Chain A
Amino acid sequence: DQQVKQNSPSLSVQEGRISILNCDYTNSMFDYFLWYKKYPAEGPTFLISISSIKDKNEDGRFTVFLNKSAKHLSLHIVPSQPGDSAVYFCAASGWDSNYQLIWGAGTKLIIKP
């Protein structure tokens, strides 16, 4: 049973608009969440993270929101640019995963010009 779920395999967004990628988790013991971005033929690269003591973290065009009661986090990209086209992975960790990362299946974001 997947503890971290990204229910949208793909998402298409117009350039300049907002991209919203969603991630749900089932384990209430998770206390740290990360987003990674992956281009084809490359490894994932770290994008942004959030601790469970916060509900929002912002870094330039990227903002992550955490709703602990709903066990839901989202990544907002504003404005979306062609270089943002990639696969985005959500990952979570906590004491009962021995602080190892549990990953979602990924969402492929396509930015249309």
Chain B
Amino acid sequence: EAQVTQNPRYLITVTGKKLTVTCSQNMNHEYMSWYRQDPGLGLRQIYYSMNVEVTDKGDVPEGYKVSRKEKRNFPLILESPSPNQTSLYFCASSLRGQNNQPQHFGDGTRLSIL
């Protein structure tokens, strides 16, 4: 089954404790992206990757890191999480990084930073 898998689905942690949210897709997609969803703001892009070893900042990259060492994986790293990073996070992928190609989303990761 074609899918985007995020882990963990839920995480409660404390300020300053490094964490990684994994994202994996099995569709051989070139393009992957991370979003955060906050009430009243819709989805905002954090980082995206057009292909392996190519990453770019989205609209809200501060406090986040990503890497794309292999095509299927695109982990999101919070080196020193803060309470303002409490949010619902989505990973997405598409065949190419073109705007006419719909993105496939994971089911989300709800992070709470205390």
Whether the Cβ atoms of A43 and B4 lie closer than 8 Å is yes
- Surface stretch bound by B, among A11-19, A64-72, A102-110: A102-110
CB of A59 closer than 8 Å to a CB of B: no
Whether the Cβ atoms of B108 and A42 lie closer than 8 Å is yes
CB of A22 closer than 8 Å to a CB of B: no
Q: Provide the residues of chain B in CB contact with A99, threshold 8 Å.
A: 97-99
Interface residues on A, range: 20 to 34
State the B residues within 8 Å of A (CB): 4, 33, 35, 40-45, 48, 56, 58, 90, 92, 97-100, 102-108
B26: shortest Cβ distance to chain A, in Å? 15
B49: shortest Cβ distance to chain A, in Å? 12
- With A43-B92, A43-B108 known as contacts, the answer to whether A103 contacts B103 (CB < 8 A) is no
Within 8 A of B (CB), among A15-62: 31-32, 34, 41-46, 49, 51
Most B C-beta atoms less than 10 A away, residue of A31, A45, A101, A104: A101
Q: Provide the residues of chain A in CB contact with B48, threshold 8 Å.
A: 100
CB of A111 closer than 8 Å to a CB of B: no
- With A49-B102, A100-B58 known as contacts, the answer to whether A42 contacts B107 (CB < 8 A) is yes
Q: Could you write out 9 A-B pairs with CB less than 8 Å apart?
A: A32-B99, A43-B90, A43-B106, A44-B43, A44-B105, A89-B42, A100-B58, A101-B99, A103-B43
